[in-house]
């Protein structure tokens, strides 16, 4: 069986053109992108374009973030099947949870930038989450320390480029406890959430750091996971800021070595 890294990378032939020299034809490594279908009890619920690695983490994190399940043990079985069209992650859940899933009437068909594809009404965009406990912000120094380690630990992005990263970092030291990568920012966060759940990581001791912007969906997934802090390397949208404030999520944007933006009331 291929390793996660082998599954995530593909070798292609390229032709490089420039003014300085003759064209060069050589091999290049690019990030893999495939259609991944999440199938619950035999019924396809979501099809996302994603990197075909850490798929158990992805399925678990997506299921938790979408409130299809509430704990890892709610997934009774998981089988990953490759087809000519893509990959099916076949999940078995209880009849009670499956009935609740069908009642949501939500069938997604999204790409790597899609957060609400398939939602049938405006009412379905409003999710119900518990308000997070009020906590102090992650310190400037700790965020800076995490950022210093973040890029070098993004193995796939360093090899292929074009890959988003999502990491869970220590609140006290900035040490990266867990990191997942994917061609889609939502997918990378789902994979991280799934990995944290599988490994019983204490969520109160860390914060999420992502390479992308803070969209509503990124904020919502963090809240659903029960994590108090989200730090992003790019901007935040208006809905993301509002949703974070409503749920007491500490949101920091434009994080870099010398500057961080805190969204306050």
Does 92 share its domain with 40?
yes
Lowest model confidence (mean pLDDT) among 17-21, 25-29, 106-110? 106-110
CATH classification of the domain holding 98? 3.10.20.10
Does 46 share its domain with 146?
no
CATH classification of the domain holding 247? 3.40.140.10
Does 155 share its domain with 243?
yes
Does 181 share its domain with 103?
no
Whether 120 is covered by a domain: the verdict is yes
The mean of the pLDDT values for the chain is: 90
**Residue 126: predicted pLDDT:** 62
Does 102 share its domain with 144?
no
pLDDT in tens, 120-178: 555 555 678 999 999 999 999 999 999 999 999 999 999 999 999 999 999 999 999 99
Q: Is 60 exceeded by the pLDDT of residue 101?
A: yes
Q: Which of 89, 124, 159 is the last residue of a domain?
A: 124
Scan for tokens 């993004």, then name that residue. Answer: 154
Mean pLDDT over residues 223-247, rounded?
A: 97
Mean pLDDT over residues 258-265, rounded?
A: 90
Does 156 share its domain with 246?
yes
Does 225 share its domain with 187?
yes
- Provide the pLDDT confidence category of residue 114 given band limits of 50, 70 and 90: low
Domain count, the chain: 2
Does 118 share its domain with 145?
no
- Provide the pLDDT confidence category of residue 109 given band limits of 50, 70 and 90: very low
Whether 255 is covered by a domain: the verdict is yes
Does 119 share its domain with 160?
no
Whether 11 is covered by a domain: the verdict is no
Whether 81 is covered by a domain: the verdict is yes
Q: Which of 124, 159, 178 is the last residue of a domain?
A: 124
**Which residues carry out catalysis?**
114
Does 72 share its domain with 155?
no
Does 116 share its domain with 144?
no
Q: Which of 63, 97, 124 is the last residue of a domain?
A: 124
Whether 95 is covered by a domain: the verdict is yes
Whether 62 is covered by a domain: the verdict is yes
Q: Is 90 exceeded by the pLDDT of residue 41?
A: yes
DSSP for 185-236, please give it: HHHHHHHHHHHHHHTT--GGGEEEEESS-B-HHHHHHHHHHT--EEEESS-B
Whether 1 is covered by a domain: the verdict is no
**Residue 120: predicted pLDDT:** 52
**Residue 121: predicted pLDDT:** 52
The reported pTM is 0.90
Does 113 share its domain with 169?
no
Q: Domain containing 68: what range?
A: 34-124
Q: Is 50 exceeded by the pLDDT of residue 110?
A: no
Whether 19 is covered by a domain: the verdict is no
């Amino acid at each position: 069986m291929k390793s996660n890294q082998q599954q995530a990378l593909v070798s292609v032939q390229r032709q490089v053109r420039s003014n300085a020299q003759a064209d060069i034809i050589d091999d290049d490594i690019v990030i893999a992108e495939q259609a991944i279908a999440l199938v619950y009890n035999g019924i396809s619920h979501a099809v996302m374009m994603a990197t075909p690695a850490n798929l158990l983490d992805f399925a678990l994190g997506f299921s938790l973030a979408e409130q299809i399940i509430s704990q890892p043990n709610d997934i009774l079985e998981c089988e990953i099947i490759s087809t000519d069209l893509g990959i099916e992650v076949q999940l078995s859940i209880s009849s009670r949870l499956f009935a609740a899933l069908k009642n949501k009437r939500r069938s997604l068909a999204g790409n790597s930038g899609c957060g609400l594809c398939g939602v049938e009404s405006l009412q379905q965009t409003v999710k119900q989450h518990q308000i997070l406990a009020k906590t102090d912000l992650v310190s400037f120094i700790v965020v800076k320390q995490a950022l210093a380690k973040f890029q070098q630990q993004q193995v796939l992005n360093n090899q292929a480029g074009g890959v988003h990263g999502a990491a869970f970092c220590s609140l006290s030291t900035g040490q990266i406890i867990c990191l997942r990568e994917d061609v889609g920012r939502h997918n990378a966060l789902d994979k991280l959430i799934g990995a944290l759940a599988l490994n019983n990581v204490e969520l109160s001791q860390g914060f999420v750091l992502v390479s992308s912007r803070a969209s509503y969906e990124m904020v919502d997934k963090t809240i659903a996971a029960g994590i108090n802090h989200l730090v992003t390397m790019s901007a935040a949208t208006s809905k993301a800021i509002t949703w974070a404030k409503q749920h007491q999520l500490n949101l920091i944007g434009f994080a870099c070595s010398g500057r961080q933006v805190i969204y306050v009331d």
